[in-house]
Structure 1
């Protein structure tokens, strides 16, 4: 069914159109949220490949796909590959800073580092993610509180 939906969208607006790639990315996010990580990985890799070709390696949408793929890989237990994706996303984000996006990349990288049992490095990244989220979202935002939790996990370990 998903292949049919993708093929239908691509047939109407073209495979390289940004709406087509955005649709693939959003389907991957939805599958990730449903815990269907294998299917999500396929769509995230597809969206990432399309965005790299169409937009370049450092475009914000490409970096969004890199981070999404990293999150899915993390949930699959593929922590080494997830770390590579998260570091790539963060390096790209730091070229054109956006504190909110940087904090999201740091938060996902921090989670991965904690799962890799690299607690000191994870703690440092989690602290930076928390500072960025407190600055842009405020202390009571759910994403800020997620960063508080991640820092707590780092400190506990």
Structure 2
């Protein structure tokens, strides 16, 4: 059912995807329990579907619940827990709660560097997300620094022609122009 829900989401049918993810979550909770990793993944999927529909407060609540359970079950430094932290930060950012989002992005980044290393794809995603958040706050010099770090890391790991690398370069270039003004 998760695969079908993800296919619906890719087609932009977010309400249908949410419904399917909620059905999957209910089954996972019934079969495996509230604290099973599959259940936590389903919770995160529901939150993502909510976010895609602009229901950011609901998404934040679900992401926070998922994060709390992952910290309890997996520990604060598990990669899945760090993904949940990043998801909460993103939900905060989408609601304009930039100070809280920045704090969480920075904490996630520090833990990812420690646990996964400086050029792990998840670490680079954290750097990129933090750069974007700083850009939203008009902190262009700091944003540029983080975009440069992300771009260099993406070039080293994904190559210069990868779509993510190119997107990062576009952001970096646009912010750098603002810094140079």
TM-score when normalising by structure 1: 0.90
Is 1:140 equivalent to 2:158 in the alignment?
A: no
Is 1:110 equivalent to 2:131 in the alignment?
A: yes
Is 1:100 equivalent to 2:103 in the alignment?
A: no
* Structure 1 contact 31–39 (Cα < 8 Å) conserved: yes
Match of 1:29 in 2: 48
Q: Which has the larger radius of gyration?
A: 2
* Structure 2 contact 22–46 (Cα < 8 Å) conserved: no
Give 5+ residue unaligned stretches, structure 1.
none
Moved beyond 6 Å, runs of 4+: 1-4
- Shifted more, 21-30 versus 54-63: the winner is 21-30
Deviation at 1:4, TM superposition (A): 6.8
* Structure 1 contact 102–132 (Cα < 8 Å) conserved: no
- Take 2:177 and 2:51, find their aligned partners in 1: how far apart are those partners? 28
- Take 2:45 and 2:23, find their aligned partners in 1: how far apart are those partners? 15
Distance verdict in 2 for CA 1:3–1:27, change over 3 Å: closer
Match of 1:154 in 2: 175
- Take 1:35 and 1:144, find their aligned partners in 2: how far apart are those partners? 27
- Take 1:138 and 1:31, find their aligned partners in 2: how far apart are those partners? 33
Give 5+ residue unaligned stretches, structure 2.
1-18
- RMSD across aligned C-alpha pairs, in angstroms? 1.8
* Structure 1 contact 134–144 (Cα < 8 Å) conserved: yes
- Take 1:144 and 1:32, find their aligned partners in 2: how far apart are those partners? 24
Q: Deviations over 1:96-118 (max 9, x none)?
A: 21521111000000011111221
SS at match of 2:138: coil
Is 1:41 equivalent to 2:57 in the alignment?
A: no
Q: Which fold has the larger relative contact order, with Cα–Cα distance below 8 Å and residues 6 or more apart in sequence?
A: 1
Q: How many residue pairs were aligned?
A: 157
SS at match of 1:35: coil
Is 1:129 equivalent to 2:150 in the alignment?
A: yes
- Take 1:149 and 1:35, find their aligned partners in 2: how far apart are those partners? 25
